């Protein structure tokens, strides 16, 4: 009876929603959370090196990293010159730590499998230092981020975020 009443309160015709109504929350020993981030970063010198086998391998590596660190990747796309990852992470990791983990581990794994890439990049650095992060909030919903990422692969000359280019 109490569960039915709680579900009824979630219905839009009642005029309001419970905060986490219908939302899946995750739990750790000391936290209940729903933290999702849209992350974008580029390879060093924004080189167009993330295609074909490298792109597919990076997706596999990101999934393995997510499993190891208890992240959950909702959507991701590896473009020739940048990466989009929509990820959920436990609160023990700051967004900067999530990016650092994804970039450092993927760099090591990609150089191990594709040693010739190291020669294309000076000093053996794979990723550029910067990144973009946005949390899902009131105005930017998870649905909007998913559609944006999925749209990237279908639009060859899309209006890409120009966050890494100097004006």
DSSP β-ladder status, 26-27 and 36-41:
unpaired
- Annotated catalytic residue, options 33, 57, 69, 148: 148
148 is catalytic: yes
What does the alpha-carbon distance between residue 145 and residue 47 come to, in Å, rounded to a whole number? Answer: 24
Containing 77, the helix (H) or strand (E) segment is: strand 72-78
How much is the CA Rg of the chain, to the nearest whole Å?
Answer: 19
Contact 105, 65 (CB under 8 A): yes
What does the alpha-carbon distance between residue 110 and residue 146 come to, in Å, rounded to a whole number? Answer: 26
In three-state form (DSSP H/G/I as H, E/B as E, the rest C), the secondary structure along 103-158 is: HHHHHHHHHHHCCHHHHHCHHHCCECCCCEEEECCCCCCHHHHHHHHHHHHHCCCC
Active site residues: 148
């Amino acid at each position: 009876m109490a569960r039915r009443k709680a579900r009824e309160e979630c219905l839009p015709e009642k005029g309001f929603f419970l905060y986490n109504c219908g939302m899946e929350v995750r739990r750790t020993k000391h936290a209940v959370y729903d933290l999702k981030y849209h992350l974008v970063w580029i390879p060093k010198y924004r080189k167009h090196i993330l295609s074909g086998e490298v792109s597919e391998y990076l997706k596999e590596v990101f999934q393995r990293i997510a499993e190891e660190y208890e992240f959950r990747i909702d959507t991701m796309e590896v473009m020739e010159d940048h990466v989009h990852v929509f990820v959920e992470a436990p609160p023990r990791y700051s967004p900067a730590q999530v990016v650092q983990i994804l970039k450092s581990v993927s760099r090591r794994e990609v150089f191990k499998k594709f040693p010739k890439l190291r020669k294309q990049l000076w000093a053996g650095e794979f990723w550029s230092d910067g990144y973009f992060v946005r949390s899902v909030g009131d105005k930017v919903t998870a649905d909007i981020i998913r559609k944006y990422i999925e749209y990237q692969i279908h639009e060859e000359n899309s209006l890409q975020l120009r966050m890494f280019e100097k004006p």
